[in-house]
Amino acid sequence: MEESPKTGMIVTAISLTAWNTICYFSTMKKSCFFFFLFMFLLLGSSHAFDIAGLQPLAPDGVFSTFSTESLPKNKFSAEFAVERSREVDFDRITIRGAYGISNNLEFIVSAPYVLHFEDSIDGFEDVAIGFKHRFYDEGKYGPSLAYLLTASLPVGRDELSTNGRVGAGIILSKRIGPFQGSFNLLYYRPGKGELQDEITFSSGIVFSATHNSEILAEFLAKKSHFTSEYDQLEARLGYRLRTTDSLFTTIGAGVDLKNRNPEYRLLLMITFTNAKDKKKIKRIIEEEE
């Protein structure tokens, strides 16, 4: 019997709840981290193909959701990322880099390489570059604001390329105690005339569970280059561990809430940075007059 969309959403909700419970009872520490890492290595490929484009580097973002935070001047980060996708099956390996031009202006580059798409296609996607500029700092009540300008160089294999694209977006972030929330609205115009413009809305929350670990949650809604409707509604959950002063390891899983396409995806990111930890947990104290 074919599974109904409603049943799929119920299964998804139960799966996410179960994972959250496992993490909670492991006190959000290394037992949860290594359990998820084992599952990543054990399971086969994971999500339907979509253009990766420019994405944030840890810890200044969630998975695809940028925060307004950026590297300090003359500091850099490098990241190695792996995705396993189910329905259509393929793997994606991405090398990312970021450099702080100033304390509020960052240059980012991303080079994705796809393996086993449709069982036979391997090759690069278009290489994405971009600038993120925080133009308004966070206040006691108001959020910080940044904009993103990006372009993709048309160097990818035809089946994996949009023949380049340009894009822009707005980023909003706010920290309250151990929680930081970020919201992105991004627009992309492809180089191939027959493709649609892409619009992406994403929101993410980072919870500082301990001094060296964070719980990540993200929701993404995307109208891709291949349709005029929002064809991807995806929820993601993950865990980030600061293994050394300069090394972050992030693991996560995503499931589609609309068509189960991707059915699910698994993510693994290892990030090196020479920037000192600048994040501080802020406490909101209500004073009685």
Enumerate the β-bridge partners of residue 124: 113
Cβ-Cβ contacts under 8 Å for 259 (sequence gap 6 or more): 5, 231
Report pLDDT digits (tens) over 190-213.
998 888 999 999 999 999 999 999
Handedness of CA 163, 65, 19, 26 (dihedral sign): positive
Report pLDDT digits (tens) over 138-179.
988 899 999 999 999 999 888 888 899 999 999 999 999 999
- Provide DSSP, 219-249: EEEEE-TT-SS--EEEEEEEEEEEEETTEEE
To the nearest 10°, the Cα dihedral for 47, 49, 50, 52?
80
pTM for this structure?
Answer: 0.79
Domain limits, the chain: 5-273
Handedness of CA 232, 82, 239, 54 (dihedral sign): negative
DSSP conformational letter for 44: -
DSSP H helices, 2-158, are: 5-25, 30-42
| pLDDT at position 10 over 60 | no
Report pLDDT digits (tens) over 230-275.
878 999 999 999 999 999 999 999 998 877 667 889 999 999 999 9
251 alpha-carbon distance from chain centroid: 11
In CATH, what class is 5-273? mainly beta
